[in-house]
Amino acid sequence: MQSKYPCFKKGRNEWEAECLVCKPGTYISASYKGAADLKSHLVSSKHSKAVRGDSASTKVTSYFATTGSKKEDQVTAARVHMPFTQLSITIVFLSMDCTSSLLKKTFPDSDLAKKFSCARTKTEAIVTSVLAPYSIKSALSFEENDIAYCAVATDGSSHDGLKLFSVLVQYFDWKKGGIQSRLIQFKNRHNETADTIAGYVKETLEKSGLCEKCVAFTGDNCNTMFGGLRRNELGNNVFAKLKKTLSTSLIGVGCPAHVLNNCVHYGAERMSIDIENIFNKIYQYFYIYTEQNN
């Protein structure tokens, strides 16, 4: 009888059956009419309501893509594309917490939106474990393009008590139109001393395999980087320490923007008129007019 009525299983005794479609614990006694009792239950309003509810409810498997399918590839691509787009706008991942639910509500008919899920935790994992290594690998791809020499640059900035230092490399690639700049490292350091910065730059170059190709160092013109105007190559500065550890022929390149700023600053001090006061008066006169501001 069970093969004929698969929606039933044995109940609490041999004369009783439990309906698998209705609410758990729905027992039907078959001791009076046998199969007729089961048929009577199948046509009852209670069972019909349970059948309609079962067909209307969404299966859990519909929220997951089948492994190895084209749909899974599309979902994976969407999960990577969304964090990449978010990262290009801002590094704050909080907005990703509501993105998945927003897509499901905006595109209720989309199978891809139903299977998409990428909150801040998954977004951070994709950025740090997938996009970041890939971007560094792409940035260092010039090693395979017969680029013989490169320059390294670094500078620091403070953010909420953190000392953040970026390391960039520059090289000339005529196939791509000239000088190329690539960010290969961005980390927090515990201080801003010459020893810390020089060790950080050297460690990054060694990790990237660029020590032998590095021929120049670029930084701002502060004493920590170059040791003053005369660039004391024996002093306690980043340029002197890199020259000892990397190459004695390392070229130092100062920041032209700082040089120009210093020239204007000292030149203005030698003038007989107060340049700063003149600019303040010009600003105070024009700042309330939107047309002049544009």
Instruction: Compute the average pLDDT of residues 286-294.
Output: 65
HEC profile of 184-233: EEEEEECCCCHHHHHHHHHHHHHHHCCCCCEEEEECCCCHHHHCCCCCCC
Q: What is the pLDDT of residue 143?
A: 61
Using pLDDT thresholds of 50, 70 and 90, give the confidence band for residue 202.
very high
Based on the fold, state whether residues 71 and 99 are members of the same structural domain: yes
**Structural domain contains residue 27:** yes
Q: What is the pLDDT of residues 63-75, one digit of tens each?
A: 555 666 777 777 7
Based on the fold, state whether residues 170 and 250 are members of the same structural domain: yes
Cβ–Cβ < 8 Å for 167, 200: yes
Based on the fold, state whether residues 235 and 281 are members of the same structural domain: no
Using pLDDT thresholds of 50, 70 and 90, give the confidence band for residue 216.
very high
Based on the fold, state whether residues 156 and 219 are members of the same structural domain: yes
Q: What is the pLDDT of residues 137-193, one digit of tens each?
A: 877 776 666 778 889 999 888 877 788 899 999 888 888 888 888 888 888 888 889
Range of the domain at 72: 61-137
Q: What CATH number should be reported for the domain holding residue 240? A: 3.30.420
**Structural domain contains residue 207:** yes
Comparison of pLDDT for 235 and 31, the residue scoring more: 235
**Structural domain contains residue 152:** yes
Domain boundary pick from 108, 137, 166:
137
If one counts the domains in the chain, the total is 4
Based on the fold, state whether residues 199 and 279 are members of the same structural domain: no
Q: What is the pLDDT of residues 227-253, one digit of tens each?
A: 876 777 777 889 989 988 888 788 988
**Structural domain contains residue 198:** yes
Q: What is the pLDDT of residue 27?
A: 76
Task: Provide the 3-class DSSP secondary structure of residue 166.
Answer: strand
Based on the fold, state whether residues 39 and 99 are members of the same structural domain: no
Based on the fold, state whether residues 210 and 191 are members of the same structural domain: yes
Q: What is the pLDDT of residue 44?
A: 84
